[in-house]
Amino acid sequence: MRVQSSAPDMDSAVSGIPRHVAIIMDGNNRWAKRRGLRGVEGHRAGADAVRNTVENCARSGVAVLTVYAFSSENWRRPEPEVEALMGLFLEALAEEVSALHENGIRLRFVGDLSAFSATLQEKMQAAMDLTGGNQRMTFAVAVNYGGQWDITQAARTLARQVQAGTLQPQQITPERMQAEVALGDLPPPDLCIRTGGEQRISNFLLWQLAYAELYFTDVLWPDFDQDALEQSFADFRRRQRRFGRTSEQIEAGQQ
């Protein structure tokens, strides 16, 4: 990674750069097929695009970048593809974590990590421990993750608290739920990007994306470069984020 050392602007969403960018990385297999390559080569090119996007987001002043790397539904893919993805995951952990740490980027994994091998779980935890004190940017990787699973886990946590008598049902508020979902301690996504031409969120951050701006592009993920990222930011700047208010209220500066 070749990231400059400026710290992120925590008010960047006000200045036109989203504080939290969430990305559904789609199109690796189609990218490979169009070039007559094996699917794993598309995923390898996609890993390069992840590296470049981390660099570009950190350089732009993004505070949080979350990528959808492996959904809970991806286990249904052909076994050789899943095995190749796990191999690439291990490679990335071995090759990229030290660079993330050197550039002040905190790495977090969200999802049901128990489904992965003990070796992979240990490496993921070691990476989070190493980078846990970094404050430049948080890079969250959603693996074996699904939004419905996330909300279900949060609901179960609150239900156990009610059962234990430490929480009353009427105390279950959106704020309490927010505290239990993945990444609940971070600002919610301002911008959700999906590459590859599809226009759906595919069970990604269902709670967290409530007020995110959605941006869909036909660019396949391995081709998503700095220009493509800047185009998404330019589109974000053209949006008027009302959060339930009217345009007139926004223009009058009412909160």
What is the set of domains in the chain, with CATH numbers? 15-146+187-251 (3.40.1180.10)
227 is catalytic: no
- Active-site annotation holder among 9, 52, 74, 112: 74
Residue 39 reports pLDDT greater than 60: yes
Q: Residue 34, exposed/middle/buried by CB under 10 A (0-12, 13-18, 19+)?
A: exposed
CA separation for the pair 46, 167 (Å, rounded): 44
- pLDDT grade for 95, boundaries at 50, 70 and 90: confident
Three-state DSSP state, 64: strand
Task: Read off the pTM.
Answer: 0.88
For residue 118, what are the CA distances in angstroms to 96, 115, 121, 170? 20, 9, 5, 40
d(CA 218, CA 224): 10
- Spatial distance between the Cα atoms of 207 and 186, rounded to a whole number of angstroms: 13
Q: What does residue 219 show for φ and ψ, rounded to 5 degrees?
A: -60, 130
In this structure, of 5-14, 31-40, 87-96, 199-208, the range with the lowest mean pLDDT score is 5-14
- Flag whether pLDDT at 28 surpasses 50: yes
- Asked if 28 is an active-site residue, the reply is no
Per-residue confidence (pLDDT) for residue 81, from 0 to 100: 79
DSSP state of 16: T
pLDDT at 82: 80
CB 224 within 8 A of CB 47: no
- State the first-to-last Cα distance of the chain, in angstroms, to the nearest integer: 39
pLDDT for 250: 60
Find the mean pLDDT for residues 175-193. 97
Confidence class for position 188, pLDDT limits 50, 70, 90? very high
The closest alpha carbon to 178, from 218, 206, 198, 138, belongs to 206
123-166 residue pLDDT tens: 999 999 999 999 999 999 999 999 999 999 999 999 999 999 99
On the question of pLDDT at 2 being above 60, the answer is: no
- Render pLDDT for 215-226 as a digit per residue (tens, 0 to 9): 999 999 999 999
Q: What residue has token string 């286990």?
A: 75
